[in-house]
Amino acid sequence: MFGSIARASDDNASISQEIDPYQVMFSIGVIELHKQHYANAIKIFKALSKETPSQRVRLELARAYFLDRQYELAGKTFEAVLADSSLPWGVRENVNRYLDLSDEAMGRVKFSLAIVSDSNPLNFTDHNQINIAGQTLTVSRPSRDDTVYGLQYGLNATKSFTDDASLVGYLNINVKDFESGDLDRWIVDTGVGLFPRRLRKFQARLGLEESFFGGDHHYHYPYVSMTYFPDPIEQFRFSTALKLAYLDVSGFDYLDAHIQTLDLRGSRILAGGMQLVGNLYGENAATDEQSYSYHGAGLGTTLSFPLVRSWGADVSASIGVRRYRDVDPFFGEQREDSTKRLSLVLHNQQWRFFDFTPEFGAAYERTDSNIEFFEYDKLTLIMRTRY
């Protein structure tokens, strides 16, 4: 009997020697993080980071700082993690997203400049003849719908109104400046974001989007949105967003619409450091005239993966369908559209030119419809630098 007790005691000693005390502390830190005891998690991960070179520990420390709304420390820690060239591509992409969110919370002003070309700026039909009420008509393509080249300017600014960034104002401006001024487009999006400290699974925005085309006011678009994160610690893994808006189109009252959209979005890091992001959305628009009311749905996915050195690629594909509720009064048919998009963007996670990051991209879009007049395709090319 004493011999078996002794053997059991030796086995327990062997097991205890195999237990890694750092792993135990790390596991406790993760538990504290999930319990939203961020101060305790920070103490644990900070102590561990002094004892081990593990980047996983530093990542969790940065995330604990972020969740505790110590955004400056979170940003510095994330930047230190990015300095490791062996960091998997997908993890690096998520770290960059955390850095963007930290910058937004602290207040930022960022710029972008791009050279763009658009093969069909008016989204004009690619048919030479169309059928209207049983009659075949010849389509005369407008001269200003040829391929155009221009510059695209972007401004993104945020300002926190509270110490913990629970209320943040934002201003986004996007301008496309083409050779012909009658094709210029302005979009201004401004509002406030609410990030409640005690309701970390929820975020809300109240904003107004204004659009101008060819120097004239195009539409205004007030909206309110709410986003739900089942797990705030893994907020990029899955989210659900509901948006309620009103579209007011200048000069075309029959197109004014109450719009509701629901967007489900998720991401996953795959083997080889690749990252897969997908989204599924539904939409509904109600106008005074049923002919212009519609409902629709869509599915999209983006695969991000490394190429050579610090270069990587984002390949995106999406398909969306939209069905109108009544017969079009002009064409005499109930309209149904489907839109497919395919894009490729090349970017560098480490290359900087005067603090600007270069991107090169191409996107193809094709819309098919049972009414030929609404069918078109287009190719867009872009070379962009982001600050």
Domains defined for the chain, CATH in brackets = 2-87 (1.25.40.10), 107-386 (2.40.160.40)
For residues 359 and 114, give the distance between their C-alpha atoms in angstroms, rounded to a whole number.
9
Least confident among 42-46, 140-144, 280-284, 330-334: 140-144
Q: For the chain, what's the residue count?
A: 387
For residues 78 and 66, give the distance between their C-alpha atoms in angstroms, rounded to a whole number.
10
Instruction: Indicate if the pLDDT at residue 130 is higher than 60.
Output: yes
The b-or-e profile of 210-233 (16+ CB within 10 A means b, else e) is bbbbeeeebbebebebebebeeeb
For residues 320 and 341, give the distance between their C-alpha atoms in angstroms, rounded to a whole number.
9
Statement: the pTM of the whole predicted model exceeds 0.85: no
The b-or-e profile of 6-19 (16+ CB within 10 A means b, else e) is eeeeeeeeeeeeee
Instruction: Indicate if the pLDDT at residue 182 is higher than 80.
Output: yes
Per-residue model confidence (pLDDT) at position 387: 66
pLDDT > 90: what percent of the chain?
A: 54
Contact predicate 263/243, CB 8 Å: yes
Instruction: Indicate if the pLDDT at residue 354 is higher than 90.
Output: no
The strand pair at 185-194 and 257-269 is best described as unpaired
